[in-house]
Chain A
Amino acid sequence: AQKVTQAQTEISVVEKEDVTLDCVYETRDTTYYLFWYKQPPSGELVFLIRRNSFDEQNEISGRYSWNFQKSTSSFNFTITASQVVDSAVYFCALSGYSGGYQKVTFGTGTKLQVIP
């Protein structure tokens, strides 16, 4: 069984503040993949990042950074110097890998509002 928990339902920050979105996951698979997706009001899920369970290196992409800690089963996402365009719902997701990708399980999402 897989489970993804995003405890923060909604977060509001003022523009230029840093914000961290938390994600905790559960899985019995030894190989798995973690994802973050952004869902703007238009509804489309936009892929942000994929990490596999063997790669715990933190990753930075522009203002975005991800902290993967296997020991605490967490995959947190930080936006530095937030902008109004970052306002969206962000989903953390998990996919086991057993002979190939399995279904992707999503968290309930964190709605981020960046106030100008």
Chain B
Amino acid sequence: DTGVSQDPRHKITKRGQNVTFRCDPISEHNRLYWYRQTLGQGPEFLTYFQNEAQLEKSRLLSDRFSAERPKGSFSTLEIQRTEQGDSAMYLCASLSVQGGGNTIYFGEGSWLTVV
């Protein structure tokens, strides 16, 4: 499979615990995005990377959230001290910006339930 891969697909955690999601973008794509989607809403932008550089962060990304892309390939999104309001689907997407760019491809998402 050569699409965007996310792991785990589902995570149930107790309030206060830390969780980490991983995203493996399409291999030649140098831009990577994280979005969050709650029930009945469209995806909301969280942050994006150009290679290993984090270029923009939404104010939705509180201090409890941190995203990394250490080698410009896979990325991780960590949520510390989870709260019930963090329950959502976390979507990763990737894009190649060479040659004028192309389509943004999304992974299947990581569902988080905080109980």
Q: Do A and B come from one complex?
A: yes
Verify B43–A106 contact, CB threshold 8 A: yes
Cβ-defined partner of A91 (8 Å) among B42, B101, B109: B42
**Any B CB within 8 A of the CB of A43:** yes
Tell me the minimal C-beta distance from A8 to chain B in angstroms.
13
- Per the CB 8 Å criterion, the residue count for chain B at the interface is 26
Query: Complex Cα distance A106/B91, Å?
Result: 13
Question: Which secondary structure dominates where chain B touches chain A?
Answer: strand
The size class of the interface chain A forms with chain B is 20 to 34
Verify B108–A95 contact, CB threshold 8 A: no
Which residues A70-116 have CB closer than 8 A to chain B?
Answer: 91, 93, 95, 97, 100-109
Cβ-defined partner of B45 (8 Å) among A97, A100, A103: A103
Q: Which residues of A contact B42 (CB under 8 A)?
A: 4, 91, 93, 106-109
Nearest 6 A/B pairs, CB to CB: A106-B42, A45-B106, A44-B108, A103-B45, A108-B42, A106-B43
Q: A95-B104, A101-B104, A106-B42 are in contact. List 19 more A-B contacts (CB 8 A).
A: A4-B42, A44-B107, A44-B108, A45-B43, A45-B91, A47-B103, A47-B106, A91-B43, A100-B50, A100-B97, A101-B95, A103-B33, A103-B45, A104-B33, A104-B45, A106-B44, A108-B40, A108-B42, A109-B42
Chain B contacts to A: CB under 8 angstroms: 31, 33, 35, 40-45, 48, 50, 56, 89, 91, 93, 95, 97, 101, 103-109, 111
